[in-house]
Structure 1
Amino acid sequence: MKKFVRTLGAVAVTLALVACGSDNEGNDNQAGDGDDSAAAVETIRIGASAVPHQEILEAAEPILAERGIELDIVVFSDYILPNQELESGDLDANYFQTPGYLAQQISEYDYDFVSVGSVHAEPIGIYSQDYASLDELPEGAEIILSDSISDHGRILPIFEDAGLIELDVEEGELATIDNISSNPKNINFGSRQVEARMLAPSFESGEGDAVAINTNYALEGNVDIDQYGIAFESDDKLQGNLLVVRSEDENNEAIVTLLEVLQSEEIQQFIQERYNGAVIPLVD
């Protein structure tokens, strides 16, 4: 794919300008004034999760149009393809991942990617149909997790903060199940790990004693966050959802403009009003 495609103004406008330039009555200078409608439009092809990322990008489209930028939004239902297609050049950017996941992907696949900035945070939540708090979880409770190891580093501290487990992990590193050093209630974290997009269906079908669900998939799956969410990431541990590009495009003007709009007061207010605290504006 040719990156950042420029779409010229209508052919009819161009022909009209040429005709003015060749006018026999000495009106050559009139054509030189140009026409704003013929200005180049920058198109960014961006991969995103459906909720809330696609919705946030769509809210930004009218503002971007005023600044000469169009978005071609490609929606993905998983976390693997958006990075693969960014690497291949089929995308110019993606918007769905956290710093921990991006670092894990770069380490595993040697992607030459950078984050240009964060837009919002989605606290991972623990959801249960049977228990109203983490303290109520029974001995040997089964917790269904995402199969993404980077998510474990966000989920396990929720249980540690509640006093249910202890973690032995170096500062700055993401915890894994192997880092659990104390687990008095023998909570079962390892037996059920599913793709992140399947967490909401697992919850709806009543699997496990609790399910740790990424907020975007809870929203997409119409899980009642207020009714069933029994614990969430603390504010000091929130990770931003990033606008990510190939390193070569870090300073591309269109990308810089896109980030400015996504971090603008208007879009941040949209996030607050649309998601009522389930999605949190987070500008770095």
Structure 2
Amino acid sequence: MKKTWIKLGVAALAVLTLAGCGNSGSTKDSASGSGSKDDKVIKVGASPTPHAEILEEAKPLLKEKGYDLEIVTFQDYILPNKALAEKEIDANYFQHIPYFTKEVKEKGYDFTNAGAIHLEKMALYSQKIKDIKDLEDGATILVSNSQTDWGRVIGMLQEAGLVKVKDGVDLTTATFDDISENPKKLVFKYDIDPAMMATTYQNKEGDLVAINANFAEGIGLNPEKDGILVEDNNSPYANIIAVRTEDKDSEKTKALVDVLHDQKIVDFVNEKWKGTITVVNQ
């Protein structure tokens, strides 16, 4: 199976996926309220996979630093930023840089990117072809409605020589209207919730289906093994810790970000996800 790697220019961010997911609500490990700034509890909002799993591994490391970590899990990409803005949590960990940037710009959040933690590789999967060379003219490419992920997909396709974007377009903000050349006349459909992309793949819809790593894992797909086209390690779509700007230099924030780059966390991520999710440098 041929794998094509995307090399995007580094840009300021923003997901998951993940970018914006469906409005399915949240479940919480503890009551709302982030407490006083002097307490030793760090409350972090996170997506269940892999974010909450990584945070669970970080609990004993934070305990060594004198902090108790409480994890609030969310099933969508809307509520974690809302909860952070309303001071229900101290930080969130669910979104990549382009999504974060878009949310801050559009909603006026006074947030700061406290540090990149990990990269989840997006891939294009297929139930119909085994090699990108077999993609037929007029094939349908299914992409989620998360606009901040469109550039990831377009970049992979451009790297494979299937499309070309207009000169000067930044792939992290590219839309399908920015495609200037499409020799195979590929058809793009991008109205599906990110959380439904795996189901779409299982239903054998489309010729290529773009699925975020966390949702792909949920149905047993591995980007490295199963992807027809796979995102490169140099992607700017790293997932970050976001905090309110007033807390960007707090001891809590520093402890959280430092622990998530600890070698024990790196080893855990490498062992569990076999390279499809990787801890990135700060």
**Do these two structures clear the TM 0.5 threshold for a shared fold by scoring above it?**
yes
Q: Could you tell me which residue of structure 2 aligns to residue 19 of structure 1? A: none
Q: How many residues align?
A: 250
Q: Aligned to 1:132, what secondary structure does the other structure show?
A: coil
- Post-superposition shift, 1:178? 0.8
Distance between the aligned counterparts of 1:169 and 1:219, measured in 2?
35
Q: Is residue 4–residue 42 contact of structure 1 (8 Å, CA) maintained in 2? A: no
- Post-superposition shift, 1:80? 1.0
**Does 1:57 find its partner at 2:55?**
yes
Shift in alpha-carbon separation, 1:4–1:67, aligned structure 2, 3 A: farther
- Post-superposition shift, 1:237? 2.5
**TM-superposition CA deviations, 1:249-279 (whole Å, max 9, x none):** 1011011101000011111111111100110
**Does 1:3 find its partner at 2:34?**
yes
- Post-superposition shift, 1:151? 0.3
Q: Aligned to 1:145, what secondary structure does the other structure show?
A: strand
Superposed, 1:18-33 pairs within 5 Å as none
Question: Equivalent of 1:260, from 258, 261, 272?
Answer: 258
**TM-superposition CA deviations, 1:44-72 (whole Å, max 9, x none):** 11111111111100011011111111121
Question: Equivalent of 1:221, from 219, 222, 239?
Answer: 219
Superposed, 1:181-196 pairs within 5 Å as 181-189=180-188, 191-196=189-194
Q: Aligned to 2:206, what secondary structure does the other structure show?
A: coil
Q: Could you tell me which residue of structure 2 aligns to residue 161 of structure 1? A: 159
Larger Rg: 1
Question: TM-score, structure 1 length as denominator?
Answer: 0.83
- Post-superposition shift, 1:221? 3.4
Q: Could you tell me which residue of structure 2 aligns to residue 151 of structure 1? A: 149
Q: Is residue 97–residue 236 contact of structure 2 (8 Å, CA) maintained in 1? A: no
**TM-superposition CA deviations, 1:136-185 (whole Å, max 9, x none):** 21111111111111100111100000000001153645211011000011
Percent identity of paired positions between Structure 1 and Structure 2: 36
Q: Is residue 48–residue 73 contact of structure 1 (8 Å, CA) maintained in 2? A: yes
Shift in alpha-carbon separation, 1:143–1:171, aligned structure 2, 3 A: closer
Q: Which amino acid aligns with 2:178?
A: N
Q: Which structure's relative contact order is higher, taking Cα pairs within 8 Å and 6+ residues apart?
A: 2
Q: Could you tell me which residue of structure 1 aligns to residue 173 of structure 2? A: 174
Structure 1: which 5+ residue stretches go unaligned? Answer: 7-39
Distance between the aligned counterparts of 2:157 and 2:211, measured in 1?
14
Q: Which amino acid aligns with 2:264?
A: E
Q: Could you tell me which residue of structure 1 aligns to residue 25 of structure 2? A: none
Question: TM-score, structure 2 length as denominator?
Answer: 0.84
Q: Aligned to 2:40, what secondary structure does the other structure show?
A: strand
Q: Could you tell me which residue of structure 1 aligns to residue 201 of structure 2? A: 203
Q: Aligned to 2:187, what secondary structure does the other structure show?
A: coil
Distance between the aligned counterparts of 1:90 and 1:195, measured in 2?
26
Structure 2: which 5+ residue stretches go unaligned? Answer: 1-31
**TM-superposition CA deviations, 1:190-239 (whole Å, max 9, x none):** x3421111111111111111110111111133335455311111223242
Question: Equivalent of 1:135, from 123, 133, 136?
Answer: 133
Runs of 4+ in 1 over 6 A off after TM superposition: none
State the Cα RMSD in Å.
1.8
Distance between the aligned counterparts of 1:136 and 1:54, measured in 2?
38
- Post-superposition shift, 1:41? 5.9
Q: Could you tell me which residue of structure 2 aligns to residue 278 of structure 1? A: 276
More helix by share: 1
Distance between the aligned counterparts of 2:218 and 2:52, measured in 1?
11
- Post-superposition shift, 1:84? 1.1
Distance between the aligned counterparts of 2:139 and 2:200, measured in 1?
16
